[in-house]
């Protein structure tokens, strides 16, 4: 992307940025919570949970001192509860090793449980307005199509770094993510309203984003999946304990106790469920 294209995209996109509650904050903990919640989850589902979470746990210390079961109850319905446990573990580490302040260095952020390259960079870019490029699935797709290249993960990061407008990282990163979510969408990109269409290198050939790393791939069916069965049990456990003999029923796996046992064991291994005699509960 040449500087004119970058300017054109900034002019077009900044006034259109979505009004999301975490965008008003420059607090690293708020940004970290929002980014963890938003992974693989629709923004509309994240907003009420994010607001409730920040009311209850406005600091890493508040989160670290809470029981994991309380966090999981609040998280119920968002899916992927492993993220919630990672956030709890990260809060504890922040309290123990960083005096309760989310660190502001990439390496320290990357050492926190559940924090990968995208999340670590997002904290620096969105809380501290540091000049770092963040590459989520939306950004990776835009970069791949705009350059008409199938990009490996490192190449995506390197292209993102090379086009980052210094001093405007906060706006640029936010708008690329919105642009990918709303215009250069995974299915049926809206090229007819795209402000950089004449500069886009993707022609009529195969979509280069499909073979790029970091872009979203078609998800396996949710109906009937292990994820659905685990989620059902977690939802019931957010309300009450479940007897071991009733676990298959709570998972919707009546008659398949072998599979239910395997899934229960995986939840115990992940630290999301404890078995207490005949009962299963949240930790
Ligand atoms: S022209 Fe289409 S494919 Fe290219 S960047 Fe715009 S929306 Fe994406």
Which domains are assigned to the chain? 27-127 (1.10.340.30), 137-211 (1.10.1670.10), 226-281 (1.10.10)
Q: Whose CA is nearest to atom 4 of ligand 1?
A: 200
Contacts of 57 (CB under 8 A, 6+ apart): 33, 63, 66, 71, 91
Mean pLDDT value across residues 241-263:
94
Output the pLDDT for position 218: 67
pLDDT tens digits, 125-159:
999 999 999 999 999 999 999 999 999 999 999 99
What's the confidence (pLDDT) of residue 172? 95
Q: How does pLDDT run across 177-234, given as a tens digit for each residue?
A: 999 999 999 989 999 999 999 999 998 799 999 999 888 776 778 888 999 999 999 9
Residue-level pLDDT at 222: 83
Phi, psi dihedrals of residue 242, rounded to the nearest 5°:
-130, 130
pLDDT for 154-168, tens place per residue? 999 999 999 999 999
Residue 16: predicted pLDDT: 93
pLDDT-based confidence at residue 5 (cuts at 50, 70, 90)? confident
> Which residues are marked as active site?
35
**pLDDT tens per residue across span 57-111:** 999 999 999 999 999 999 999 999 999 999 999 999 999 999 999 999 999 999 9
Residues in the chain: 283
What spacing in Å lies between the alpha carbon of 9 and ligand 1's midpoint?
Answer: 12
Output the average pLDDT for the chain.
94
Report residues whose beta carbon is within 6 angstroms of any ligand 1 atom.
Answer: 142, 145-146, 183-184, 189-191, 194, 196-197, 200, 202
Give distance in angstroms: CA of 137 to centre of ligand 1: 15
Helix segments in 117-223, DSSP class H: 117-127, 137-147, 153-163, 169-182
The secondary structure element, H or E, covering residue 280 is strand 279-281
């Amino acid at each position: 992307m040449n500087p004119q294209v970058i300017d054109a995209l900034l002019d077009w996109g900044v006034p259109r940025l979505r009004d999301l509650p975490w965008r008003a904050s420059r607090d690293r903990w708020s940004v970290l919570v929002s980014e963890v919640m938003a992974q693989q989850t629709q923004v509309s589902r994240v907003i009420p949970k994010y607001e409730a979470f920040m009311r209850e746990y406005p600091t890493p210390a508040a989160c670290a001192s809470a029981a994991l079961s309380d966090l999981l109850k609040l998280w119920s319905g968002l899916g992927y509860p492993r993220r919630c446990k990672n956030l709890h573990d990260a809060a504890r580490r922040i309290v123990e090793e960083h005096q309760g302040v989310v660190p502001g260095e990439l390496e320290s952020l990357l050492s926190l449980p559940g924090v990968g390259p995208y999340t670590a960079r997002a904290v620096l870019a969105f809380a501290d307005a540091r000049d770092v490029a963040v590459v989520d699935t939306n950004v990776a797709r835009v970069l791949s199509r705009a350059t008409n290249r199938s990009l490996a993960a490192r190449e995506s990061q390197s292209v993102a770094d090379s086009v980052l407008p210094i001093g405007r990282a906060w706006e640029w990163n936010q708008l690329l993510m919105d642009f990918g979510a709303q215009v250069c969408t995974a299915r049926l990109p809206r090229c007819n309203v795209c402000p950089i269409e004449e500069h886009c290198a993707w022609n009529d050939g195969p979509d280069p984003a499909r073979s790029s790393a970091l872009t979203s791939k078609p998800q396996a069916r949710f109906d009937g999946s292990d994820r659905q069965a685990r989620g059902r049990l977690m939802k019931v456990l957010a309300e009450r304990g479940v007897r071991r003999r009733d676990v298959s029923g709570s998972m919707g796996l009546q008659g398949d106790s072998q599979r239910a046992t395997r899934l229960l064991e995986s939840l115990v291994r992940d630290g999301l469920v404890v078995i207490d005699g005949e009962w299963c509960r949240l930790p």
